[in-house]
């Protein structure tokens, strides 16, 4: 068991991908804080049922788990999520940020409330829980304690490439990638790594929008869109085995794991003097001739 003795917080762990993360971490020996509001697909309402069911499944299998129902994007709630781990298990070794919901809308139609709510739960939720954990690890490191801690953030193909009809979701998931890079750069001194995943699997968020792609295979056999396929990578990233891997984004779908190659410095043109506006077009044309074509946005017309 690669996470034996570890204590891991998993947010949004009541259903879908987060549920599978929590169950796999439990099987791998981790004590799990199962955080979930039990909200609807669109982030409305709450019920403790889903989180309680996951925790019960872990404990029924001989593992250790407790439930937390706090809002990840609430500052005090995020502190309580971390405190739940410390109170129940005496330590915290990893945070898996997974909580989120969608309110899909074309960019010209999205409302301020829809934008704010999606960015809040995804981006601010990642920030609040990660920040609470980072403060704990930093303070202990300054007191002389050594850590081998982990942050695992959840982005998306929409965050990497954009997705038509998901402006707010794409923007939030893209920002999570940048946040991950900063966390990796800043927290390494405290013994903390930070990585992100961009998973593709069948969840409440995907099975309606991408019904044909997400459907289980009619003939049985390996189901590439089963959300349990994502969990082994997350368990490994949360484990001591991933030490030294930080600031990376992994795409994962079915049996495939890839490393996403993000923004890089590309071709340049330097005149050695100030550009005249009339010259810029020729310079840009030369740059674009050297640069690779951008990957298409998901859902864009081919």
Q: Is 173 annotated as catalytic?
A: yes
Which one from 117, 163, 170, 173 is the annotated catalytic residue?
173
Which one from 117, 136, 169, 239 is the annotated catalytic residue?
169
Q: Is 156 annotated as catalytic?
A: yes
- In the chain the first and final C-alpha atoms are separated, in Å, by 45
d(CA 276, CA 290): 22
Which one from 117, 124, 155, 156 is the annotated catalytic residue?
156
Q: Is 169 annotated as catalytic?
A: yes
**Which residues are marked as active site?**
156, 169, 173
């Amino acid at each position: 068991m690669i996470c034996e003795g570890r204590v891991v917080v998993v947010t949004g762990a009541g259903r879908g991908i987060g549920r599978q993360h929590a169950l796999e971490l439990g099987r791998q020996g981790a004590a799990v804080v199962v955080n979930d509001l039990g909200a609807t697909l669109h982030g409305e309402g709450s019920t403790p049922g889903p989180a309680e069911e996951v925790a019960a499944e872990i404990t029924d299998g001989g593992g250790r788990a407790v439930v937390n129902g706090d809002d990840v994007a609430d500052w005090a709630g995020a502190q309580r999520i971390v405190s739940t781990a410390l109170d129940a298990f005496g330590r915290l070794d990893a945070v898996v940020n997974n909580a989120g919901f969608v309110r899909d809308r074309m960019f010209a139609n999205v409302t301020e409330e829809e934008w704010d709510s999606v960015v809040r739960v995804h981006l601010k939720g990642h920030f609040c829980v990660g920040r609470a954990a980072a403060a704990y690890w930093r303070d202990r490191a300054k007191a002389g304690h050594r850590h081998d801690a982990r942050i695992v953030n959840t982005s998306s193909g929409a965050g990497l490439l954009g997705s038509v009809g998901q402006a707010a979701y794409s923007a939030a998931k893209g920002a999570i990638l940048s946040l991950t890079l900063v966390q990796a750069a800043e927290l390494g001194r405290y013994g903390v790594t930070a990585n992100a995943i961009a998973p593709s699997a069948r969840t409440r968020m995907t099975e309606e929008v991408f019904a044909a792609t997400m459907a289980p295979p009619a003939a049985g056999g390996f189901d590439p869109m089963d959300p349990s396929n994502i969990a082994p990578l997350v368990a490994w990233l949360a484990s001591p085995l991933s030490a030294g891997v930080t600031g990376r984004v992994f795409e994962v779908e079915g049996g495939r794991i890839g490393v996403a190659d993000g923004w890089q410095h590309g071709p340049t043109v330097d005149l050695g003097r100030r550009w005249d506006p009339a010259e810029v077009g020729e310079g840009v044309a030369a740059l674009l001739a050297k640069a690779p074509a951008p990957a298409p946005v998901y859902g864009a017309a081919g």
